[in-house]
Chains A and B, each alone.
Chain A
Amino acid sequence: MSITDMTAVEVAAAIRAGKMTAVEAAEAMLARIEEQDKRYNCYVTVDRAGALAQAREVQAKIRAGELTGPLAGVPVAVKDNMCTEGLLTTCSSKILGNFVPAYTAEAVLKLKEAGAVILGKTNMDEFAMGSTTETSAYGVTRNPWNTGHVPGGSSGGSAAAVAAGECCYALGSDTGGSIRQPASYCGVVGMKPTYGTVSRYGLIAYGSSLDQIGPLTKDVTDCAAVLEAIASHDEKDSTSVERQDTDFTSALVEDVKGMRIGIPNDYLGDGLDEEVKAAVLKAAADLEGKGAVVERFDLSLVEYAIPTYYTIAAAEASSNLERFDGIKYGYRTEAYAGLHSMYKKSRSEGFGEEVKRRIMLGSFVLSSGYYDAYYLKALRVKALIKKAFDEAFAKYDVILGPVAPTTAPELGYSLLDPIRMYLGDIYTIAVNLAGLPGISLPCGIDKNGLPIGLQLIGDCFQEKKLIQTAYTYERLRGGFPSGKDQEINSPEPDEKEECRHE
């Protein structure tokens, strides 16, 4: 079997068994990227030399018996909003086009400790603002299932890289669905952990109270292994939580007997594509067949999730992005007259449309006289949404529903109407507002040959229930095709923006 067909855990096992070396694994992945990333544009930066150097180092440690974990030696891709020391970190923005961090994000350090080999940095919506990876300053990423479609976003580069076999697994970040939705569009597994489970130190903030790093993997087993590696209590992140139950791989058990699963009627209403609905309900029926107790219920408040999210996330973003001013690092305009003009021009030229739209929205909802009416009200609604979930979890172990209303839209479709793009986040956003864990895994393929995602949502700190349910479903479902096998279906891209940094 080719390494590009193997899961992360399988690759690590092969390396441990001496059937393959970490260097060979990295080389195979780099060759794959070389060969086809022009087509998909998953990566903003490929760190060939760094990856090979890490691979050699890791291989030596594996041989010496110092690294024995389930991910040792496995090549990984990291979303370009996580700081990597000495390696360009752009957030897919022009304003950070030359930014090389002096330190590495805690989650990436955790992966390195586990023996990961970092191949490079993946493309994303600029500053994670977008649901299609089309707002990147470095060109769109194409969906490996069909290059005429988007991979989703904002972690589109990470999801597409996993689907296209350009890495064994990837890290993404999820503020309003940015891991789960691209996982769904690309037919891979993606998980957003409970807020506070993975350190945000070194993750370039979008909406600080919502951001959470998580894995994008080929299957649920990899997902559990990666989450286990990156979950940590970090004293450098005040919002990090100390948990004892991070042995997530122990939940890889095929059993849902008596598991109480609730399906919110609100998640099956208007706007949901019939094929997606059918696939999701089929998955629920499969789980029921294995002994789960499945029920429909009314979650309520779902319609308020989107305005609440865009108020809070934009408010936080407007402040978080103030530091990008052209003074200390990043893009600075060429000609300016005085400080104010330098700020204004650097930021006007450095940020893209969607980022500017959200900065303006966020500045507005925080401004004097509007704070109570918008920001404070949004915080109150957020608390009510959390309460609605609390009530639901008093009755259910897991909430089941779709990830997105449709499968991956065509390139360009969402950009025409930002509101339509925002509405696409309806099923994922409430999870972030309530700080809950959520997992997305493939549950079908639509008539256009695009994958459909199933979302499972758990109560805070109940990742294990999600993993167990997802794992059981995955076994029931059987093998799922990989995006890279669909290449034959994809038309050649018309043009390819040259944007790669080396």
Chain B
Amino acid sequence: MSKMLQDELSNYETVIGLEVHVELATKTKIFCGCSTAFGAEPNTQTCPVCTGMPGSLPVLNKQVLEYAIAVGLATDCEITRYAKFDRKNYFYPDNPQNYQISQLYLPICRNGGVEIETEEGGVKTVGIHEIHMEEDAGKLIHDEWEDCSLVDYNRSGVPLIEIVSEPDMRSAEEVIAYLEKLRLIIQYLGASDCKLQEGSMRADVNLSVRKTGAAQFGTRTEMKNLNSFKAIARAIAGETKRQIDLIESGEKVIQETRRWDDTKGESYAMRSKEDAQDYRYFPDPDLVPVAVSEEMLEQIRAKQPEFRNEKMKRYKEEFDIPDYDIEIITGSKHMADLFEAATAICGQPKKVSNWLMGETMRLMKEKETDAQDLSFSPENLAKLIGLADAKVINGSVAKEVFEVMFEEDIDPEQYVEEKGLRTVNDEGALRKTIAEVIAANPRSVEDYRNGKEKAIGFLVGQTMKAMKGKADPGAVNQILREECRK
């Protein structure tokens, strides 16, 4: 970065607020009984309600309300005791009624916030302006060959919550810390899997810049189509620079919606405020107001899970594992669940943690797997630990078995039997093989006898190879040393 550009950037402050859409993990849609399962044949999970047929009426799925309230409680929001749904009117073919049922006037949650850790190691609260419930639209498929557009209404009516933050963030790092925090809270609640790539979590970035110390916010733009944390960071950097350049060259930032193209690394304008639509919001007369009783709130409060901070504290007290491990394991609800379940079965937290921190992390990196997509069961992990403890298999075989388990969640006991991977405990056979190895490698035996400790490693390797890996390396080592000294 040139000196000039650096100076230019440091004279400005970036102000960011986020609108985060989260697809809720309900089995059925928000206003009808259709399935929300992903990946079905187009238009097979539809009914008169979610295709906007004349005369059909919406009925609120209670689970959506419960999830929205649970997220609100976990983010310190006030829960609106008398909430309403409003219609947002706009014409588009993915929207079968040509209005979306959303919440404008009385959203379910308001005035909350989450704490994030800043780069400097401090703690900062990002305010949450509101959380509202709404329905997703269908999916448009443009068929270039046939020159037509097709609509799939399977996604129409899938429940969403939109979490609108205050403009409290000042850098890409803070934005990502906030998103990670939100994601973790929602995953802990089981309210959504929050996958950015698959669109179950979508973030729109509202960004403006102002001279450092200025009291007024600058004109903001809204950026869409951000499918990963990396894309978000790049888009923030790109948009910050674009706005500063505009201001520095005497031009004005226009309030508009922009689409980020991550491959090109630039954004382009979708629509400006001038052609912004008037959505003619009004309360949906087909839905009755949502009255949240104290009893309902209590029930949801009682069902709130143990969140990360509480979990970390408990792990420190209960398990003798390093703080670093605790941080990584609780960084994903699924990983923490795996840890606790496997520990409960085998009673060896340290060993479970080692598998998660070691082989699991290695394979996750290698195979680009998210923690929440780990598919092996805690039962199988506990079995594997049991097999290794009982020396039924040795360490390297255990790793080999784990790798298969990681991919296919096989039962390690069955797999070891089927593949004949049991450690050979027949000392006679082992001694026979060792005798052969010693006979074949007189040079190494000589080296060992002359004090070259390394030579024993080679001989162990040769023996294991001859035993096809199925020997207990400890026993091999011990017998080899005995034999060589003879």
User: Which residues does chain A contribute within 8 Å of B281, judged by CB atoms?
Assistant: 366, 371
Q: Is B231 an interface residue (CB 8 A)?
A: no
Please determine whether A363 and B98 come into contact, CB atoms closer than 8 angstroms: no
Q: Is A497 an interface residue (CB 8 A)?
A: no
Chain A positions 361-377 with a Cβ under 8 Å from a chain B Cβ: 363, 366-368, 371, 375
Q: Which of B60, B89, B91, B278 touches A238 (beta carbons < 8 Å)? A: B60
Q: Is B355 an interface residue (CB 8 A)?
A: no
User: Which residues does chain B contribute within 8 Å of A236, judged by CB atoms?
Assistant: 57, 59
Q: Tell me the minimal C-beta distance from B274 to chain A in angstroms.
A: 14
Q: Tell me the minimal C-beta distance from B63 to chain A in angstroms.
A: 15
Chain B count of residues within 8 A CB distance of the other chain: 28
Please determine whether A322 and B91 come into contact, CB atoms closer than 8 angstroms: yes
Please determine whether B89 and A239 come into contact, CB atoms closer than 8 angstroms: no
Q: Is B286 an interface residue (CB 8 A)?
A: yes
Please determine whether A201 and B56 come into contact, CB atoms closer than 8 angstroms: yes
User: Which residues does chain B contribute within 8 Å of A203, judged by CB atoms?
Assistant: 55
Looking at A89, A208, A322, A375, the one whose CB has the most chain B CB atoms below 10 A away is A322
Please determine whether B98 and A322 come into contact, CB atoms closer than 8 angstroms: yes
Please determine whether A238 and B96 come into contact, CB atoms closer than 8 angstroms: no
Please determine whether B285 and A208 come into contact, CB atoms closer than 8 angstroms: yes
Q: In terms of DSSP, what is the predominant structure of the interface of chain A?
A: loop
User: Which residues does chain B contribute within 8 Å of A325, judged by CB atoms?
Assistant: 91, 93, 98
Known: A316-B285, A343-B91. A237 touches B57 (CB 8 A): yes
Q: Is B378 an interface residue (CB 8 A)?
A: no
A240 (CB) vs chain B CBs: closest residue: B57
Please determine whether A323 and B55 come into contact, CB atoms closer than 8 angstroms: no
Among A38-46, A97-105, A130-138, A181-189, which stretch is in contact with chain B? A97-105
Q: In terms of DSSP, what is the predominant structure of the interface of chain B?
A: loop
Please determine whether A363 and B280 come into contact, CB atoms closer than 8 angstroms: yes
User: Which residues does chain A contribute within 8 Å of B54, judged by CB atoms?
Assistant: 83, 89, 91, 96, 99, 101, 204-205, 323-324
Give Cα distance in the complex from A327 to B53, angstroms. 12
Please determine whether A208 and B286 come into contact, CB atoms closer than 8 angstroms: yes
A200 (CB) vs chain B CBs: closest residue: B57
User: Which residues does chain A contribute within 8 Å of B286, judged by CB atoms?
Assistant: 205, 208, 238-239
User: Which residues does chain B contribute within 8 Å of A91, judged by CB atoms?
Assistant: 54
Please determine whether A205 and B288 come into contact, CB atoms closer than 8 angstroms: no
Q: Tell me the minimal C-beta distance from A174 to chain B in angstroms.
A: 16
B59 (CB) vs chain A CBs: closest residue: A238
Give Cα distance in the complex from A371 to B105, angstroms. 12
Please determine whether B280 and A323 come into contact, CB atoms closer than 8 angstroms: no
One digit per residue, 1 when the CB lies within 8 angstroms of any chain B CB and 0 when it does not, for chain A 55-74 equals 00000000000000000000
Q: Tell me the minimal C-beta distance from A276 to chain B in angstroms.
A: 33
User: Which residues does chain A contribute within 8 Å of B51, judged by CB atoms?
Assistant: 328
B89 (CB) vs chain A CBs: closest residue: A319
Q: Is B267 an interface residue (CB 8 A)?
A: no
User: Which residues does chain B contribute within 8 Å of A238, judged by CB atoms?
Assistant: 57-60, 286-288
Q: Is A466 an interface residue (CB 8 A)?
A: no
Chain A positions 281-316 with a Cβ under 8 Å from a chain B Cβ: 315-316
Q: Is A339 an interface residue (CB 8 A)?
A: yes
Please determine whether B48 and A103 come into contact, CB atoms closer than 8 angstroms: yes
Q: Is B376 an interface residue (CB 8 A)?
A: no
Q: Is A82 an interface residue (CB 8 A)?
A: yes
One digit per residue, 1 when the CB lies within 8 angstroms of any chain A CB and 0 when it does not, for chain B 286-326 equals 11100000000000000000000000000000000000000
B153 (CB) vs chain A CBs: closest residue: A328
Please determine whether B58 and A102 come into contact, CB atoms closer than 8 angstroms: no
Please determine whether B96 and A328 come into contact, CB atoms closer than 8 angstroms: yes
Q: Tell me the minimal C-beta distance from A294 to chain B in angstroms.
A: 36
User: Which residues does chain A contribute within 8 Å of B287, judged by CB atoms?
Assistant: 238
Q: Is A235 an interface residue (CB 8 A)?
A: yes
User: Which residues does chain A contribute within 8 Å of B60, judged by CB atoms?
Assistant: 238
Give Cα distance in the complex from A443 to B457, angstroms. 113
Please determine whether A367 and B55 come into contact, CB atoms closer than 8 angstroms: no
User: Which residues does chain A contribute within 8 Å of B444, judged by CB atoms?
Assistant: none
Please determine whether B53 and A102 come into contact, CB atoms closer than 8 angstroms: yes
Q: Is B282 an interface residue (CB 8 A)?
A: yes
Chain A interface (Cβ within 8 Å of chain B)? 82-83, 89, 91, 96, 99, 101-103, 105, 200-205, 207-209, 235-239, 315-316, 318-319, 322-325, 327-329, 339, 343, 363, 366-368, 371, 375
